[in-house]
Amino acid sequence: MSEPTSRPSWDVYFMDIAHVVARRSNCCSRKVAALIIKDKRIISTGYNGTPRGTANCDEGGCARCWARIHGGETAGSGTVQAGMQLEECTCSHGEENAIVQASYHGVSIKGATLYTTFSPCLMCAKMCINSGITEIIFAAEYPLNDTAGRLLEEAGVTLRKL
């Protein structure tokens, strides 16, 4: 008779799935994914990458990613550093895509929990607040999240690191 296996907690279960979803990302800089969960059921997933129907990052679809993997140069822009030239990035974030996918399919996410591989940026924090997400659970801290964290707290959205 074999030893019983330990079951992962719901948090670990959903975060493990988020890490698998992140592998679908076509972003060359950082692979991020998010799941939206309601009543212990996955209702939407998203990963970062270029918009539907456009060229992927590694195909030149995002000038910023293309520059990072091809010597740091874009036409006239110089070296691309982390956190810089974000206006050149055409990728949608994992959280953004999970929220948009729920909307696209007509699924309400009011009162849902979002699991994400990185804490949300300010834009994604605002989207989470306005879409009715009540809790965000993340695996790693995104470097630019101080303002996002303060805003989530003010809005009453629980933010916790797993």
Query: Residue with structure tokens 């990963």?
Result: 47
The model's pLDDT over 69-98, given as tens digits with 9 standing for 90+, comes to 766 554 434 455 555 556 667 889 999 999
pLDDT band at residue 67 under the 50/70/90 scheme: confident
CA 30: distance to chain centroid? 10
pTM (predicted TM-score): 0.86
Q: What is the mean pLDDT of residues 120-129?
A: 95
State residue 76's pLDDT score: 39
Tokens 């060359």 correspond to what residue?
28
Q: Which segment of 18-22, 29-33, 143-147 scores lowest on mean pLDDT?
A: 143-147
Type and span of the H or E element at 115: strand 113-118
Enzyme catalytic residues:
95
**Between these two residues, 84 and 42, which has the higher pLDDT value?**
42
DSSP string, 15-40: HHHHHHHHTT---SS---EEEEEETT
* Total length of the chain: 162
In 6-154 the beta strands, taken as DSSP E runs, fall at 33-38, 41-47, 113-118, 135-140
What's the confidence (pLDDT) of residue 77? Answer: 44
How far apart (Å, rounded) are the C-alpha atoms in residues 25 and 85? Answer: 20
